[in-house]
Chain A
Amino acid sequence: MNPVLLRSMLLVFAASVVGSFGAVFLKFGSATVGRSLITFVNRNLVLGVALYLGSSVFYALGLKDGQVSVLYPMVSLGYVWTMVWSRIFFKETFNTQKLVGLGLVLLGVVFVGMGSS
């Protein structure tokens, strides 16, 4: 495999993992959020937003010179990690609709990636 593509794939992979933890911390931090904006300033939400920003830097670097048709579907790996973390950290259950829905979303993103190359 050519080293540029491999580098891009690693960056996008890292971005998907970092971003999925961003979602986990946003969920943790959301518990105490109320109507006032000041309630949005808490440690978990700041960390969640920081992880999101971090992952977007990895995405930008990865997508800059890689093939979008390969990388786009990898971007959506973040949805898979997030579903796993929701089960581990928030005791959410898997059911048929969630798994089928996620599968269709991933398939759709693969097609969008194919059309974007």
Chain B
Amino acid sequence: MSSPAVVSAPQDDPAARRRKSIFLVFCCTVLGAAAQIFMKLGMEHFTLSLPALLTNYLLILGYGLYGINTLLLIVALRDGELSMLYPIIALTYVWVTLLSYTLLHEPPNVYKNIGITTIMIGVAVLGRGGKK
């Protein structure tokens, strides 16, 4: 078992730690979006019985990705500012919207397109706003 001090030692450079935490949250949003899509697909053949739930691989995959997502978020929060990192999670909306267009064949929508563009600009601004 490694102590926290040993783990954080190679990352003394605050700028590198900050970049790493932003990158981790970015990964979280991709995983979170994939999880949502898998869960949505899995819920399409949802039945409340144990054998059905245990073989609903899409739903299980969705929950598993959420678990990994949470672990990554925790590591990111350890090394970065909550106030900068947390709103970046809104990128999930961007990926979910794009995945619904491509995988779920939802029709493109002008409001959604304006929304996800605005979110991306907002996240870019946030990424520059953390403690230097």
Contact = CB atoms under 8 A, between A and B. Distances in A.
A101 B83 contact: no
Top 10 A-B residue pairs of the complex, sorted by shortest distance between their CB atoms: A97-B129, A104-B122, A111-B115, A115-B111, A101-B126, A108-B119, A108-B118, A115-B112, A112-B115, A86-B83
A93 B81 CA distance: 9
| Centre residue among B4, B109, B121, B129 by max chain A CB count within 10 A | B129
Interface in A87-117: 87, 90, 92-98, 100-116
A35 interface: yes
Interface residues of B, number: 46
B70 A52 contact: yes
Interface in B85-132: 86-87, 89-90, 93, 97, 109-131
Nearest to A95: B129
A86 B6 CA distance: 26
B129 to A, nearest CB: 3
A115 B110 contact: yes
| Centre residue among B110, B119, B130 by max chain A CB count within 10 A | B119
